[in-house]
Structure 1
Amino acid sequence: MFNCNWKNIKIHELNKLDGHCGRVNQVCFSPDGKSLASCSDDNSIILWNVKTGKIKSRIKVKEEVSQVCFSHNRSTLAFSSGNFVYLWNLKTGKQKAKLDGHSREVNSICYSPDGTTLASGSSDCSIRLWDVKTGQQKAKLDGHSNTVYSICYSPDGTTLASGSEDKSIRLWDVKTGQQKAKLDGHSNTVYSICYSHNGNTLASGR
């Protein structure tokens, strides 16, 4: 950053959340901002009360948990562990569905803006779209030649962007499952992608 003047910058720690005994892989706020979910290599997800910093509940699974994401209506928590994606009912505290289709680790998950579909990207080079209500696979998006590390819906829900170890970003038509564009330019793995709020711009990082 150039020509920036930094004055009186202070960061106040609100809470220190202690609970995991392994590396924390991702954190995610609930849509209402009252809860925070964290997933870890200790084979668990912890739900935290944001205001108090206290643990609300803990979900234990058999393998390391790499991704976690709240549904838009706050009723379901999606998370990935190994080759699978799980849907967890937050009201009952029980598993709703196990999404089985990927042949290797799931690295990224993302709800569609309307909350009806969950997308997952994997080391098996594929992206899959799942019907949240039934738990059934709706589509399989093939095109990447290496691990898919990041996926992100456009704000209007019509396009899914994906970033991969094949150094490309691809844009997919969600309705047809067809690739709309391939964006080349990175010299290494694309680990992160994000749409702007108006959907006109896509940012990527490696």
Structure 2
Amino acid sequence: MANYSYWASGWCQSRQLLTRRESDIATASDDGTVKLWNQQGKQIKSLKINEYNIWDVNFSPDGQIIAAVSSDEGVVRLWNRQGKLLKTLKHSDRIRIHSVSFSPDGKTIATAGQDRTVKLWNRQGQLINTLNHSATVYNVTFSPDGKIIATGSNDGIVKLWNRQGQPFNTINHNAAVYSVSFSPDSQTLASAGADNKVKLWQLNGRAIRSLDGHSAAIWQVTFSPDGQMIATASDDKTVKLWHRDGTLIITLTGHSGEVNGISFSPDGKTLVSGSKDGTAILWNVENLTLDNLIGRGCNWLHDYLANNSQGQSDRYLCDGVKTPNKS
């Protein structure tokens, strides 16, 4: 049996309705399919893209178009939510495209590939511009305000470009960069990669801090919608959640394979992770404050402290700590 990998690519929330609608999740797999799921884990749709590994998939901002890129084809396919192929964009001949991203207004599509370029397209499929690196480009993303494009490459460099594709800053991560992400206010950039680290930067290139704790390469970094948390997915089979100040909040263990992708729900209450173990996991990340985590820890330790503590003082470690009700 094939060991299918899943990349948790993102959430879609309809912006056509005045009332909030359940968010959908898209996963991409090396069986050549993109699958759509609801938050309860029920499969809504399966799109058979081709016979190749799907490397990335993304929703347009209005949730009506799905962009998928695969290995060794050099093309991007645009589908509607009903599974109809709308358009094919040819990035290059038979090369691996690693990343596809929509601009916040949905008018521009960016693709990043093994040919050391990022290409910008309009929704009609016309090539607008080509941005160059000196090595494979693993990730491309737009800032939430739509003014900046960030690219991360195997050359260890993060480049910042304006919307017209003109470079205005270069940041040296000092290791292959697999993922770049902007904070919701577009003022902070995170880069992650082969050195097992996440580095936070001001847009002028000044280093803010480094998040250290993973034991293997980090394939994705993303900010929570409120900008207060940062999530990272790693080859060490874990997902970590961090405060903006670099403090580790929690390590999520549950996957048996490398974790390729993560994405927050629009309300920030749920995180989805996708892994090479062939699964996507939904995590409840609401109320992950330090007090809440201490309370949960004391809840778990209650019986042990009461009956197995070696010293009398241990019994009182959780005195005064508010614990959540046991379900």
Q: TM-score, normalised by structure 1?
A: 0.90
Q: Which runs of 5+ in 1 are unaligned?
A: none
> Residue in 1 aligned with 2:97?
24
What amino acid sits opposite 1:81 in the alignment?
S
> Residue in 1 aligned with 2:146?
74
Q: Note if contact 2:91-2:111 (Cα within 8 Å) is conserved in structure 1.
A: no
The C-alpha deviation readout for 1:7-55, integer Å capped at 9, x for no partner, is xx953322211232321111100000001000111111110011x2110
> Residue in 1 aligned with 2:262?
193
Of residues 109, 123, 127, the one that matches 2:180 is 109
- Mapping for residues 78-93 of structure 1, pairs under 5 Å: 78-82=150-154, 83-91=156-164, 93=165
* More helix by percentage: 2
Please list every run of at least 4 consecutive aligned residues from structure 1 whose deviation after the TM superposition is greater than 3 angstroms. 1-6
What is the deviation of 1:162?
0.6
What amino acid sits opposite 1:56 in the alignment?
I
2:100, 2:207 → 1: CA distance? 26
The C-alpha deviation readout for 1:72-104, integer Å capped at 9, x for no partner, is 22221100112111101224x4211111133x2
Secondary structure of 1:17's partner?
strand
What amino acid sits opposite 1:155 in the alignment?
P
1:56 aligns with 2:128: yes
1:177 aligns with 2:246: yes
1:171, 1:32 → 2: CA distance? 29
What is the deviation of 1:155?
0.8
Q: TM-score, normalised by structure 2?
A: 0.58
Secondary structure of 2:259's partner?
coil
1:2, 1:114 → 2: CA distance? 33
What amino acid sits opposite 2:194 in the alignment?
S
Of residues 197, 205, 208, the one that matches 1:135 is 205
> Residue in 2 aligned with 1:119?
190
Q: Percent identity?
A: 34
What amino acid sits opposite 2:271 in the alignment?
L
Greater Rg by CA: 2
Flag the 1:123–1:116 CA change in 2: closer, same or farther, 3 A: same
Flag the 1:94–1:11 CA change in 2: closer, same or farther, 3 A: same
Secondary structure of 2:179's partner?
strand
Q: Note if contact 2:112-2:140 (Cα within 8 Å) is conserved in structure 1.
A: yes
Please report the RMSD computed on the Cα atoms of aligned residues, expressed in angstroms.
2.1
What amino acid sits opposite 2:118 in the alignment?
I
What is the deviation of 1:202?
0.9
What is the deviation of 1:5?
10
What amino acid sits opposite 1:39 in the alignment?
A
> Residue in 1 aligned with 2:110?
37
Q: Note if contact 2:219-2:259 (Cα within 8 Å) is conserved in structure 1.
A: yes
What amino acid sits opposite 1:77 in the alignment?
I
- Mapping for residues 150-161 of structure 1, pairs under 5 Å: 150-161=220-231
Q: Note if contact 2:173-2:191 (Cα within 8 Å) is conserved in structure 1.
A: no
